[in-house]
Amino acid sequence: MSRNDSSPSWGGLLARPGADAHIACVSGDAGFLAEAAAGYVGAGLLAEEGVLVLATHGRWKAMAARLGSALEGTEGRLVYADAARALDRLMAGDRPDPARFEAFLDDALARIEPGRPGLRAYGELVDVLRDRGNWPAAVALEGLWDAARRRRPFALLCSYGLDPLDPRAYGGPLEAVRATHACLIPARDSGRLDEAVDLALEEVLGRSLSASVRESASSGLPSVRMPRGQAALLALSRELPHTSARVLSLARAIYRGGGRDG
């Protein structure tokens, strides 16, 4: 995935994320989130890496169905904990407690055999907090993850049940996810997302103004890797918030239909 460009191969990114990658998969499609997470976990197991999974029971069930026989003989390589139950142990009131989080993570990682060629984690703790409406705690927890990865580098994939073509995802939620991750994967087919956003921008804004939004997107988020369509939507929400709902509605219709009618 290139910065603010199309990403036809999110599968390749998740299979080989890099030792210090921090990725967010953002989608309202539960099937896609499970598929992406299973691909990420399965690639780690295939590479003999240590893998930590903090997923809700339903998501883990969907992942396990996709992983199948890849889960056989993974003792000492794969550690799973229920995300909702783990989160209850980590919270102090409405915020995650740094000491509890560090102790929990150290204990979980200690159950992975030493000497593995790599380490990766998949987490839904933040999405449980999102579902509870506690965005400040989710952002704080992302910071604790990053602090832990500075002490001991490992790749991290977070899942968020946010629809990037829903206006309610903007004005705070998606911006918070963008601010705490190095890479966003917002769609199963990023090329189609780019096309849908391009068509919607030109339909609603016209060619000149839509080009201005794309230019702003390419220069405004230089450190975050994401499809250019997603970058454009974030820029639009920031600069023309009263217009973004129309663009998002049209882009959603085009994306789901595979193209513009007529």
Question: Which domains are delineated in the chain?
Answer: 29-161 (3.40.50.300), 190-257 (no CATH)
Residue 222 pLDDT grade (very low, low, confident, very high; cuts 50, 70, 90): low
Global confidence as pTM? 0.92
Specify the length of the chain in residues: 262
For residue 57 the two structure tokens come to: 């029971």
Q: For residue range 115-159, list pLDDT tens digits in order.
A: 999 999 999 999 999 999 999 999 999 999 999 999 999 999 999
pLDDT exceeds cutoff 70 at 53: yes
What is the end-to-end Cα distance of the chain in Å, rounded?
A: 31
Kindly report the average pLDDT of the chain as a whole number: 92
C-alpha angle 104-181-153 in degrees, rounded to nearest 5: 50
SS3 111: coil
Measure the CA–CA gap between 54 and 187, rounded to whole angstroms.
Answer: 22
